[in-house]
A and B are shown apart, each in its own frame.
Chain A
């Protein structure tokens, strides 16, 4: 099996195909700290792509409440327990990926969630979780920082358009492909024969089986919008302005004024979801400040402490870039932060939008005190 380099785990790993990176790779950063769980993103996707027969159970975008929420139910816990305890050593993952731990006769370590696990996207999640063991029980209140004794947070999920997709690796028909122009991973609806190997293999459980067409479907990264320079529906619709879309390079080739590269590679404030699984997923998360660190490390890898520290005390440039989340429907290719403003540019270098880093305080004159 060929070896490919996965920068998220700082090592080479086994993958069934050669590591050819696309010309550009779709990437996004989701700021968990700001999500209000309104599910506007979820409905934006549903009303655009999955409103027809056979798609009733499909939520290509979903927001689940951790630690108990999961769509399909317990997707991450199930995969993690199949993989068993694994280790990171000084920023390098020394455990096994799902490709390296594939059972005999299969490409990937996975499981096929039965239909009842897809039915209730938000079941069992309204359960706050006490973590009295945190800080050795020293923390008394439940909402004190740095870590809440009783915690929950929202996890926003779409397909990660992985650099090393497990869905693609597992499809014996090669009906799944990664577009060279933007790294978007798609299931060819003409070639798919409903084997559900992708549903079984993707640890994030993003391919879903359509019982009416008897083949599988998945998030398409709203490619007709990307082709026009627009951000995806779920990103454009986000009420909490927690999402930013752009392009991501591997760490060694990071472009400093590309917003996603800056957040992921330079500021290192945004982290991949379950990098240890080995897919190099391309949606990155700013971890929630109040989450128990051990739990977050399992989810986002060893960069958690540094990312939270950086997010809690951002420098001027990071603060500026954070203002550009959710302010435009256009894909921001480059950004610049001045003393007062954050400026976004399109691929031709034209300014898309300019936002103040600090909103000016305007005091209402006395004669308008009562106007509503």
Chain B
């Protein structure tokens, strides 16, 4: 038998390497880190209008996202996508708008094979110099995830998408313990019959047909530990038009919930993003993710920082104006909170 030459081994090794590199997918983590500037503005933010002109007046940053391949289940073989993100804050609320192209609008999950479009923002809860593990935090280093879901948005826009949405001709004789006649839509059940809708009876937020916000406020300490928070503090809205999703998120900068990230004007924090394409059965770890980036929350009153160098009367004058503006701002924010609550 002829022996293989060294060259053949080298070529073979090179081929093997090339094969491994091409099939093992490119690494998820992007080396470059980008700063997302949350611009300070006065007055209300167009929280429930992701299509507002307002967002185009803000600095916009493009974040590349790639298939998650740190842990199973992985998303392999999808092209790198881009999320365009803007942010603004008015000293009380912070808002984000994320935009990306997606040819299909997937907002119904009734069929076994149907998955939703979704997008999420992640913050480390602790304000440390290094971000935690990108895989949704780590033990002792929790992350706060704001997860917008296409199907929740649709439930809010058009009412709970019951069985009849996916199967218009569904016909059942009756459901025991349901106090309705045909077509037996889910929400009007008796208190007792709710016990037979297992997920709802177990208080699973995914099974609750009454949706208040399309954005779920979650906490996690690593893969698989994602948990719905008792206090839901994030609101938002997503609109799909002409092959693009535009989704807004908003939350008061600070909350009284220990499971939330607390943001302050003037602060710099880490932030990361993830996006799911329902059409490609993307769900759970099968998502495209960004690296950690920096979020810089601009202060509404940048002159605050240089006040000390001014003469006393100047300080008094600016101070008075400051107190007045804070009062106005609080009133505006209060009004906003009321309005957004009323909408839900």
Measured CB to CB, the residues of A under 8 A from B are: 51-54, 56, 104-107, 112-115, 118, 170, 172-174, 188-197, 199, 208-215, 217
Contact with A along B192-206 (1 / 0, CB 8 A): 010011111111101
CA A51 to CA B202, docked complex, whole Å = 17
* Stretch with Cβ within 8 A of A (4 or more), from B36-44, B242-250, B279-287: B279-287
B contact residues, range: 35 or more
Known: A53-B197, A172-B71, A210-B199. 6 other contacts (CB 8 A): A52-B176, A53-B186, A105-B75, A106-B74, A113-B113, A213-B198
Q: Which chain B positions have C-beta within 8 A of A174? A: 224
Q: In the bound complex, do residue A197 and residue B73 qualify as a contact, i.e. CB atoms below 8 Å apart?
A: yes
The answer to the question of B72 belonging to the interface, with a C-beta cut-off of 8 Å to chain A, is: yes
B178 in contact (CB, < 8 A):
yes
B304 CB → nearest A CB, Å = 43
Min CB gap A220→B, angstroms: 10
**Is there a chain A Cβ closer than 8 Å to B163's Cβ?**
yes
The docked-state distance in angstroms from the alpha carbon of A37 to that of B74 is: 42
Let me know if A105 and B224 touch, CB within 8 A: no
Q: Which residue among A114, A118, A194, A209 has the maximum number of chain B CB atoms within 10 Å of its CB?
A: A194
Name B174-224 residues within 8 Å CB distance of A.
175-178, 184, 186, 193, 196-204, 206-207, 223-224
Q: Are A172 and B207 in contact (CB-based, < 8 A)?
A: no
Contact A213 to B200, CB < 8 A, known contacts A105-B72, A173-B226, A174-B224: yes
The answer on a CB contact under 8 Å between B75 and A214 is: no
Could you say which of B2-10, B104-112, B319-327 contacts chain A?
Answer: B104-112
Give the contacting residue for A105; candidates B76, B193, B226; CB below 8 A: B76
CA A112 – CA B114 in complex, angstroms?
10
Q: How far is the CA of A56 from the CA of B169 in the complex (A)?
A: 13
Most A Cβ at <10 Å: residue of B166, B186, B198, B285: B198
Say whether B312 faces chain A, with CB atoms less than 8 Å apart.
Answer: no
Which of A106, A172, A196, A212 neighbours the largest number of chain B CB atoms within 10 Å of its CB?
A212
Whether a CB of chain A sits under 8 angstroms from the CB of B69 is: yes
B204 touches A190 (CB 8 A): yes
Any A CB within 8 A of the CB of B138: no
Q: Taking beta carbons and an 8 Å cutoff, which residues of B are in contact with A?
A: 23-24, 69, 71-76, 109-113, 151, 162-163, 166, 170, 172, 175-178, 184, 186, 193, 196-204, 206-207, 223-224, 226, 281, 283-285
B74 adjacent to A52 (CB under 8 Å):
no
In the assembled complex, which residues on chain A have CB atoms less than 8 Å from the CB atom of B186? Answer: 53-54, 212
Task: Enumerate the 9 nearest inter-chain pairs by beta-carbon distance, A residue then B residue, closest first.
Answer: A105-B74, A213-B199, A213-B207, A189-B202, A211-B110, A114-B113, A195-B284, A190-B202, A52-B196
Set A104, A173, A191, A209: member contacting B112, Cβ < 8 A: A209
Quote the shortest CB–CB distance from B81 to chain A (angstroms): 18
Which B residues touch A172, using CB under 8 A? 71-73, 223-224, 284-285
Partner of B199, one of A106, A113, A170, A215: A215
Of A56, A107, A195, A213, the residue contacting B170 (CB under 8 A) is: A56
Once the chains bind, are B199 and A192 in contact (CB under 8 Å)?
yes
Bound complex: CA A288 to CA B42 (Å)? 79
Contacts of A53 in B (CB 8 A): 162-163, 172, 175, 178, 184, 186, 197
